[in-house]
């Protein structure tokens, strides 16, 4: 059974590398230049005060995925800001486990998903999230539309 735990301080580089492997496997709409642009943003995000959870192997040693949660005071809700699974561990229930864990901790969640990532949209719909809106650009102002969801 996978273990969910807070990240260890020494795991930041490993989680950053996991993010990149996951993005390369699932965000095929991004060019290499886009990934390079987002790389330092994600590094900064991992060092932020956001609440992170890591899904690990049965021994709790090897990170296989992670989620990031942040409270959005203007909305009065918790937002799932990040959910990334190592491609070698995908489709094994870790994403669902992290979403369930986040909901148990925080209740209903909001999130944004790239419009060009239909697999992720379907994943969230299957877990009860509904679309509540759309933005023409992502959080960095780049031309990657976001679908806003809540569930």
pLDDT tens digits, residue range 5-57?
Answer: 999 989 999 999 999 999 999 999 999 999 999 999 999 989 888 999 999 98
Contacts of 80 (CB under 8 A, 6+ apart): 67, 68, 69, 99, 102, 109, 110, 111
What is the per-residue pLDDT for 83? 97
Distance CA 23, CA 29 (A): 10
DSSP structure class, residue 8? P
Distance CA 86, CA 64 (A): 5
CB distance 65 to 86 below 8 Å: yes
In this predicted structure, the answer to whether residue 143 has a pLDDT above a threshold of 90 is yes
Average pLDDT over residues 55-72: 91
Q: What is the largest CA-CA distance in the chain?
A: 42
In degrees rounded to 5, what are phi and psi of residue 53? -135, 140
In this prediction the pTM is: 0.94
What is the per-residue pLDDT for 108? 96
pLDDT digits (tens, 9 = 90+) for 67-114: 999 999 988 899 999 999 999 999 999 999 999 999 999 999 999 999
In this predicted structure, the answer to whether residue 60 has a pLDDT above a threshold of 80 is no
pLDDT digits (tens, 9 = 90+) for 119-136: 999 999 999 999 999 999
Q: For the packed helices 32-46 and 12-26, what is the interaxial angle rounded to 10 degrees?
A: 150
């Amino acid at each position: 059974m996978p273990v969910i735990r807070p990240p260890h301080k020494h795991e930041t580089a490993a989680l950053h590398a996991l993010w990149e492997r996951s993005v390369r496997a699932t965000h095929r709409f991004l060019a290499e230049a886009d990934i390079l642009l987002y790389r330092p943003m994600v590094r900064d995000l991992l060092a932020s005060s956001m609440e992170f959870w890591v899904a690990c192997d049965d021994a709790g040693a090897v990170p296989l995925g992670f989620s990031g949660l942040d409270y959005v005071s203007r909305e009065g809700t918790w937002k799932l800001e990040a959910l990334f699974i190592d491609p070698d561990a995908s489709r094994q229930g870790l994403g669902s486990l992290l979403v369930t864990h986040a909901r148990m901790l925080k209740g209903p969640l909001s999130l944004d998903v790239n419009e060009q990532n239909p697999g992720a949209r379907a994943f969230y719909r299957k877990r009860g999230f509904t679309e509540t809106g759309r933005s023409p650009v992502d959080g960095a102002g780049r031309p990657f539309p976001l679908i806003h969801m809540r569930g």
